[in-house]
Amino acid sequence: MHPYYPAPWQGIEGNFESLPKTFDTNSPARSYNARILIADDEPRARASLKEILRFTGYETTLAESGSEAIELLNTGTFDLILLDLNMPDLDGHKVMEHIDHYRLNCDIIVVSGETTFDHATMALRKGAQDFLRKPYAPDELLRSVANVIERRQLRAANQSIHLRLQESESLHKFIVNNSPDMIYLLDQEGKFAFINERVKSLLGYSQNEIIGEHFSKLILTEDMEKAQFTFNERRAGERATRSAELKLCSKNHNGTRFFESHVIPIELSSIGIYTTNDDNSKSFIGTYGVARDISERKQAEALIKYQLYHDLLTNLPNRSLFRDRLNMAMAQSKRSGKKLAVMYLDMDRFKIINDSLGHFVGDELLKLVGQRLRSELREADTLARVGGDEFNLLVPEINDIQDARNLAEKILRLTAEPYIIKNEEIFISFSIGISIYPSDGDTKDMLIKNADIAMYKIKNAGKNGYAFYSEKMKTHFSQSLDIENGLRKAISTNELCLYYQPQFDIKKGYMRGVEALVRWKHPEKGTIQPSEFISVAEESGLIIPLGEWVLRRACTDIKRWMEQEDISLLLSVNISMQQLEMDQFVAKAMKIIKRHDLPKNTLELEITEHAIMQDMEKAIDALTRLSHKGIRIAIDDFGTGYSSLGYLQNLPINTLKIDRSFVQSIKSSEDNSIIDAIIAMAKGLNLNLIAEGVENQTQIDHLSRAGCGLAQGFFYSHPVPEDELLRFIKANGFAKGHNASESRKAPEHDTPIQ
């Protein structure tokens, strides 16, 4: 046995109880999986060291020479090298010099046969942690390795703590100086002891310019008293100041910035910036605070508040701000004893302008109207935009209603002047309703509502004017509201029905067709005529579902007559301009017609001349598409539109219906030039003619001589229910099976269908 290497003792493999008791297998170093390089030129020495370290949990690598050890150190990471000094190519001293020169993070234990004091001293000077002489005891070796590894771990932990402390200090400094908030410390006198670099970007001051100065240097004069309780706060805990808003002056004083200041007494600082006296009492030494710039928030709040109370298109007050000011004006009026006026202004024909010239022009017009009106009002008056083309005007402190009348007339004169937009002259007018406080209402809701009612009185009377509210208007308005609510229900609950008025060939005397007319069978009021509810339906938009109901029901009836009664007639159904303006109207109408499989040219849709004049371009487009589908078109109430007759050449019409006012003007065979001209024009355009409202033989005779072929009116028949119409048709032989050449005559005029 070589004297330097101990022989393996019995049971070393897998039995730690066999190790010397002086070696602690639970040492912290044992839990650390260290990498150990064994460098020795003697194979048995390497094997012995590896065998001893086999069950320690360390990872071992063997090197046969100094050069191999250096190569492994350069390419790998080792925690410890067990190094022999005497090796043939490069001795251990050269390996240690290499480790030192390249500052390799590897601890050294020399395990050598050199026994002189000089060799040991030199090895320790070159960085060795321990020097073990061969032969060595295994427990001594294991203890030395464990100690070196443990010291290495402690060193690494200390270094890590030191680095973290350095990083923490650096990070703290970085956070403070790069904080978006201004962080400061004040001494007992309220002077700045510290302030971070944020003061430069926020207020334009350098840190040196502020440190040592009293906080009042930054405070706006009006906020100085409030600042005493925030910047120089002495309270702690829950009673400390939170979120107090102040205004701080910038260096150049060109503007003011809003701040939200969070201040905390210094004795609660986590870094211990406070003093404790000998008797354990505490003394105030200063204030710590954080000032946050909230300028953007204030600007956003101001913008939101503005948007909340203003119309963004015209920049006028909106409905909410108007109601607030009306509340204040009413309170002031109570104190002063003076009246105030509320005006409801609705622009006439704005929809036509918007649709014909485009929404951009419509928006520009609204802005110009608002500017023109606002420029002529008093400072105390409030003009608000409350809807698409609707404005409210508050006129406080008036002496009597004459002041309101004068202002309404002034508004009408102002708006009568043209507006120039994109080189277009645009003329507008207003319908104005006026209510007076306190005679027309003692609440803001009542005043606005009554002004609205008065405005509708002008709308219905022809527009472009003004009216003061009266109790009579309220009764009429309530009736209209009742009709609207009832009609809405009637459309869905089968309270509506159709009456039919026959249309006759004047010369041949046979029935040519019928016009479908809607009636409302009210459960309490009985039959309600169209004149009482059609205008309400148009104002409320109910005319669209009502018109669809009439078209469906009329098509159902005429189809049933064809199939069950062998009756074939032309069916006329009235439609409104609101229906034509719907993008889907043509498609919906054709769907209804196809569902009933009506023969071509059976259905004739009637629209008034006045309705067509509202939007000629849209009317031409929709009516043309209907005409191409085989639907006949009739112009109702012809002659009342006061428009150029040139439009007739552009419309795909089949029939003109002469308005009853012209027919009723026929008193004799003389001086009927207007109706004669209408008939002659229709003939020239190859159009059918129907005279409405025929009531006597004189009218029939003149119409026949002038060349009008068809007529309807009380002379022939009132509008009648379906069952009564069918009895009349059958009784007089107007069914499909009878030849028209038999000249079946209408009944005598003194026995019309009732």
**Most confidently predicted of 6-15, 16-25, 103-112:** 103-112
Q: What is the pLDDT of residues 647-673, one digit of tens each?
A: 677 788 899 999 888 898 888 766 677
DSSP label at residue 563: I
* Alpha carbon 113 to its chain's center: 88
118 pLDDT exceeds 60?
yes
Q: What is the pLDDT of residue 22?
A: 41
328 pLDDT exceeds 60?
yes
More confident residue, 451 or 9: 451
- Bridging pattern class, strands 339-347 and 430-437: antiparallel
Q: What is the pLDDT of residues 157-202, one digit of tens each?
A: 888 887 777 777 777 777 777 777 888 888 888 888 888 888 888 8
pLDDT band of 60, cuts 50, 70, 90: very high
277: β partners: none
Q: What is the pLDDT of residue 274?
A: 44
- Lowest-confidence segment of 126-140, 268-282, 306-320, 683-697 by average pLDDT: 268-282
742 pLDDT exceeds 80?
no
Query: Domains in the chain, please, with CATH?
Result: 16-158 (3.40.50.2300), 179-300 (3.30.450.20), 310-469 (3.30.70.270), 500-742 (3.20.20.450)
19 pLDDT exceeds 50?
no
pLDDT band of 741, cuts 50, 70, 90: very low
Phi, psi angles (nearest 5°) of residue 317:
-55, 150
* Alpha carbon 749 to its chain's center: 66
Query: What average pLDDT does range 342-357 have in this prediction?
Result: 88
Share of the chain above pLDDT 70, in %: 86
Vertex 63 angle, CA 58 and 65, to 5°: 150
Q: Whose structure tokens read 């005397």? A: 509
Assign residue 394 a region (left: φ > 0; alpha: ψ between -120 and 50; beta: otherwise): beta
Q: What is the pLDDT of residue 13?
A: 36
pLDDT band of 278, cuts 50, 70, 90: low
CB 212 within 8 A of CB 186: no
More confident residue, 16 or 78: 78
Query: What average pLDDT does range 441-460 have in this prediction?
Result: 91
Distance CA 128, CA 112 (A): 12
- The pTM score is 0.50
Token reading at 377:
């009002």
Distance CA 234, CA 287 (A): 7
- Return all residues near 504 (Cβ < 8 A) that are at least 6 apart: 510, 511, 512, 710, 711, 712, 716, 746
pLDDT band of 392, cuts 50, 70, 90: very high
More confident residue, 639 or 705: 705
The per-residue pLDDT of the chain, averaged, comes to 83
Distance CA 204, CA 505 (A): 96
CB 679 within 8 A of CB 644: no
Assign residue 588 a region (left: φ > 0; alpha: ψ between -120 and 50; beta: otherwise): alpha
Q: Please name the helix (run of DSSP H) or strand (run of DSSP E) that holds residue 726, with its range, or none.
A: helix 722-731
Rg (CA), the chain: 52
pLDDT band of 42, cuts 50, 70, 90: very high
Q: What is the pLDDT of residues 204-244, one digit of tens each?
A: 889 999 999 998 888 877 778 877 777 776 666 666 666 77
Query: What average pLDDT does range 327-338 have in this prediction?
Result: 93
